[in-house]
Chains A and B, each alone.
Chain A
Amino acid sequence: MPRLDPGMQSGKIVEWLKKEGDAVKKGEPILVVEGEKTTFEIEAPDSGPLTKILAGVGTDVQVAQPIAVIGEPGHATHPIISPQKADEERQQPSAAPAVTSTSSDRVIASPAARRLALERGVDLTSLKGSGPGGRITSEDILAARQSTATAQTISKVLQPAVLKKTKLVGIRKAVAERLSFSARTVVPVTITVEADATKLMAMKEKQSHIGFTAIGVKAAAKALEKHNSVNATMESDEVTTYSDINVAVAIHTEQGLVAPVIRNANKLSLKEISTEIDELSRKAADNRLTIENLTGGTFTVTNLGAYDIESFAPIINPPQCAILGLGRIAYKPSAHGSEISARPATLLTLVFDHRIIDGVPAAKFLRDVKNNLEDPEGLL
């Protein structure tokens, strides 16, 4: 069973195009295999009689396990026969027989090949051996470095050239795990509203040091004062609402996404919030955020507007129950009555966990956020 794409662990035999005993020619398609994403036709790696079919239609076979034999037993050396299979049938030299392993895990490779493979970082399991009985020899290792196609792939699908391989570690890994968890447990509902940004833009011109994210945080915090059902977390099947309103702000760093918390955001002035966001951003960039910075959030605000994003449905930051996504502020067509004009506007998206909050309370909350944003002077 060849590995047809990088993530493939096993393939399912969909159809044998040839039957046992048929003569097959090298390159001729002989079976159809379904991988994880697509279905492939597999070609014969050699010419000869299809002596034996080892896996029938419908069976799932792990990559590198044998599925058929072409040719006389003892002469098979190709990847359709796994190079890891022990080969008791190979011709013995006149000396005592070489070590034959009956474990299917053992790669038959000569001592010289093993040494070279180690020195050059070549994966023995990816090679087919050209020596007697399929033994991988030093020539095979030396040839492996020079060839551009790997020996395992025999279908028309080629691996793309690899730029870099990075393992998921640290923050990235943690974020990935948290998001996976969220995706699995939360029941998200998305609602969107357009806010008129005329007054917002005017205020920003006067107070240019205050960022939109800060305004969004304050707008949300003020609204949460009146809608404390949205200022909640859920753990197992217990919902907790809070008197503190701690708004987390999503900040992008080199190491990954972090969401440090602005405590009691409702009690801080816009200027204070803006300063704190700057401070937290700096800390995040320097990797100096503390546990205190990162815990205790009851609601999250995330802003991709700076990147021209109209709107988006962010993933709720568990165990919180809602998250507000801010899109870009831009001139958009707007209708007043039947008249179209261009007005600055921004799309606000609220994703909430329907297990905790219902649609109407969520909508009411979002409407209040919109109202707060449309009258930003009231937030200062």
Chain B
Amino acid sequence: MATITQVSEVSQNDYSKHGLTKEILHKILRKMLLLRKFEEKIEELFLVKGLLIGPSHLYLGQEAIAVGVMFALQPDDLTITTYRGHGHALAKNVPTNLCMAELFGKSTGNCKGLGGSMHVAIYPKTGSMYATAIVGSGIPIAAGVGLGLKQQKSNKIAATFFGDGACNSGAFHEGVNLIALWQLPVLLICENNKYAMSTPVEKAVSSPSIAERAHSYGLETKVVNGNDVTSVYVAAKEAAERARRLSEPTFIECRTYKMKGHGVYDKGDYRPKEEVAKWLERDPILTFKNRMLNERLITQNEIEKMEASTQMEIEDAVTFAMQGAVLPFQEIHRYVYAEE
């Protein structure tokens, strides 16, 4: 019988139970810092330096979800995400250089400059299988991936990321139905950041909550504080194990908030100022840093070292990207069909 559970905060005592060693916690923080600094750099390259062009959807404020889930998964698990995918790409270990070059449209990017910001999370080498720009369309694909893994009796599982807006699309319904019906090994990670572009969830979702909607499909459902990386991690870890062992899917609604607007140019003025301020206080990186400091699991010095090294990594990535060349035009014909 499927249940909806509210995932509670993880107490320090339980860290080791969930495999959260100090080393891993440091890695988690560093990864979150990488995501944050990457997105800040992208914002600067767009709005201040004018070096980047096109749509770009920043992951600022949602770092706990991508990082929490990816650390809970095994490295070779397969993920399908969306156009708000810079965070998922970096969290799934797509090299920072290649991501930056892809955003610059260079042939040295992981998609040879043919995909861009909305498809930067495509890097099968590390299991980041796909990123779609069509809202909701990743879910049926995730069903297929899960089915394929189950068919091959693989030890791998699939996880797909989508927003609150996707929950109203036909593809969501068809995909979720199939995943639940066939009990496929898929984690359905809904990043409910309360707004689909400028449309708040209350004005879009008819169900009392997204979790209840998911639960009505017969899915094991969890609701978790999407700004608390350890909660996300624990929720995802449990779901992953169940998927792997029993081929049972789980729907995890992560409640979070975008620090900025929908796309890099969007100021998000449609959101009430107090709401924004309240959520900024719950900045996932700030709160995690403070907790770790309080729990004496990290020093200020170590934090500063991390900040510096991640910043350097970003700067190096920009240099790499700017040096790259654009794909010669006639080459585009080579990428339409596979030969073998």
Direct contact of A and B (CB under 8 A): no
| Chain B interfacial positions (CB closer than 8 Å to A) | none
| Chain A interfacial positions (CB closer than 8 Å to B) | none
